[in-house]
Amino acid sequence: MNNIIETILNHRSIRQYEDRPLTEEQINTIVTCAQAASTSSYIQAYSIIGITDKETKRQLAQLCGNQPYVETNGHLFVFCADLHRHHVIGQMEGKDLSTSIESTEKFMVTVIDATLAAQNAALAAESMGLGICYIGGLRNQLQAVTELLHIPTHVMPLFAMTVGYPLHESTQKPRLPLHHVYHQEKYNQDTKSYQQQLQEYNEITASYYQERTQGERTDTWTGQMANMLSKPTRMNMKEFVEKQGLNKK
């Protein structure tokens, strides 16, 4: 196994960090690695905002649903889908690009681009012995986040990422077995085999939670998912995205 694969397979989210900021060199390496990701038609449709200001971090931690590690970490990155730059390009080149910029297709492109960049950043950080945690809680209160970070039209904050030196070794969460997610030649639509697979995975996750909590947590993955999905969250997203001038057509 090479070092890259080892790093990838060693992933676990880290939520407690040493009080030790990242160096400028580390930050630059992480962002440069993010930028090295593939990008649809060379569009590079994302921005990354680095947050070091203590008060901004404190406010973001609150806005993200009181997640303390959003405040206490080595560095905080905010990943944004960004077509603002391309709006400026339209002005520079004297072309009306608004139909493209506001389309569902380009919205998907910008979200995909930003996410690929983020995962490169995560791997770069992890390969340097740092820990990371994605923060989707950033989308809890998008209007306030947008105001706090001065985010313009055609930009959508997607998630944050905390990075820093891990305080503890944490356990790894078991993923779905490979054959559950990897279909060969065509999509396996057989519901019965899907249900069997899910039972199989429930046993894996149940013993993971039992072990992690010395028998206290009895939970299955299907139970967890059904619980989560039965409470729809952030149902204002469509409206917010459109207000940002994205996904309108």
Ligand X SMILES: Cc1cc2nc3c(=O)[nH]c(=O)nc-3n(C[C@H](O)[C@H](O)[C@H](O)COP(=O)(O)O)c2cc1C
Contact residues for ligand X, defined by CB under 6 A: 11-13, 15, 67, 133-137, 159, 173
If one counts every other C-beta atom within 10 angstroms of the C-beta of residue 141, the result is 18
At 102, give phi and psi (nearest 5°): -95, 10
15 vs 154, beta carbon nearer ligand X: 15
Neighbouring residues of 246: CB distance < 8 A, sequence distance ≥ 6: 81, 83, 101, 102, 106, 107, 110, 154, 156
Closest separation between CB of residue 116 and ligand X, Å? Answer: 13
Closest separation between CB of residue 13 and ligand X, Å? Answer: 4
49 vs 97, beta carbon nearer ligand X: 49
Closest separation between CB of residue 243 and ligand X, Å? Answer: 21
At 24, give phi and psi (nearest 5°): -60, -35
Closest separation between CB of residue 122 and ligand X, Å? Answer: 9
Closest separation between CB of residue 159 and ligand X, Å? Answer: 5
Q: Which residue is nearest to ligand X (CB)?
A: 136
65 vs 152, beta carbon nearer ligand X: 65
Q: Is 163 exposed, middle or buried (0-12, 13-18, 19+ CB in 10 A)?
A: buried
14 vs 101, beta carbon nearer ligand X: 14
What is the spatial distance between Cα 169 and Cα 174, in angstroms, rounded to a whole number? 16
97 vs 204, beta carbon nearer ligand X: 204
